[in-house]
A and B are shown apart, each in its own frame.
Chain A
Amino acid sequence: MSRLTLLFWQLMVAVVALSLWQFFATVPVFGRMLLPPFFFSTPVDVASQIYKWFATGVIWKHLMITLWESVLAFVIGSVGGVLVGFWFARQPRVAAVFDPYVKMMNALPRVVLAPIFALWLGLGIWSKVALGVTLVFFIVFFNVYQGVKEVSTTVLDNGRMLGMSERQLTRHVYWPSALSWMFSSLHTAVGFAVVGAVVGEYLGSAAGLGYLIQQAEGVFDVGAVFAGMFVLSAFVIVIDFGVTLVERRLLVWRPAPVARD
């Protein structure tokens, strides 16, 4: 399929879905409304809500808050995950001691931490950042740990025979290998950073996309809930695109996956 036809069909899916939605929410079938607007709103209402948000500019403040929380959660979680992952992988004894606790903490559904973080850190951005960090940290941690553990022994031996000290091995072999694993988890990590921020906002905050959705839900404004969801998806897609660009730049040395038509 050429790019243009692909784009056409992708657009068609949206057009058809939205038309059906609009149709069943406004035209009664056999005397009944299949999608009562009170529960399902309509695409037109949702669109006008989104337009209103952007026209008045209220949305920017919320978007910026959510973006800022996600970025902080991502950066802090990643840095922590890389450092601890590296440390554990190079010090198997430390890893063995902490192993059950790491597993325990990772098994904990992170949502239950939200009230604790709200208590400790207040209703500002930091309780959301903390929630995002607990999600991002483990993804990056496990990947970096794996990456350092699975460095090819041949490449390591080669480094040693070329005369590398332990320090140079860390810099030239372990580190790039760990980073490549970290980047392969980048999309997931960024996604989780946003999830942490939005869920945190939803559970208690005064700003952000999660807050916006929660407020609309509180007054049964289904149109605004859907509008919030659409803005959120668009937001995540834009961030994900940014990640793809960064990834392409940093992982040029990796063979591209074989594409098939």
Chain B
Amino acid sequence: MIKNILNLGDAALYCDFGSDVNQEINSNVIKYFYHIKKLNLRGITNLTPSYNKLIISYDLNIHSFLSLKKKIENIEIKENNKLEKNLIKIPVCCDNNFALDIKRVENKLKLKSEIILEKFFSKNYFCYMTGFVAGMPFLGDLNQEMRLKRLETPRVKVPKGSVGITEQFCNIYTFETPGGWNILGNTPQNIFDTSNQSNPNLVNPGDTIKFYRITLDQYNEIKR
């Protein structure tokens, strides 16, 4: 399933699963990720799954590129290995104060805001990966008519909890951070919990997300 293994610098393997972004390729990445994680190989310092790549960082005192590459190439994963999937429901409030880019999205997609939100909430989304900042999930796929580019000029600060869309993807800003996604709403739910060290992420690669709409009162109730 790995097409090719290259080096990323002198202390990481760059495992290429293909160039397309789809759930089939991504599921293969995630299967490898969980399998290698479970093996708990000495000297592996990080695993980073993404849409169609898996990066394996290692301790140069323990491995060299060629020896570790061989080890990874020899791993056998059965195609029918089932992925563990959770369905996670996340409340989102689309009050004007939170839907920072709804006007822009209306203009770009040539759809009324109510239609945009209806389409957004009518679908379940697959978690391709988490990261960039702690716990941020990259979800997909949006329907074809919902796809647009990111902001021309990224925001310096996107509020924590913002739910945004770009191209075929949506995400949740787990921290206040710079970012350029089109913001449709905000969730009061904590997506990343520093105090829960064994499982800080609410959403993990392979999970399915169902967003549901809440009012501002409900939002404030949950926040309290």
A and B part of one assembly: no
Q: Identify the A interface with B (CB < 8 A).
A: none
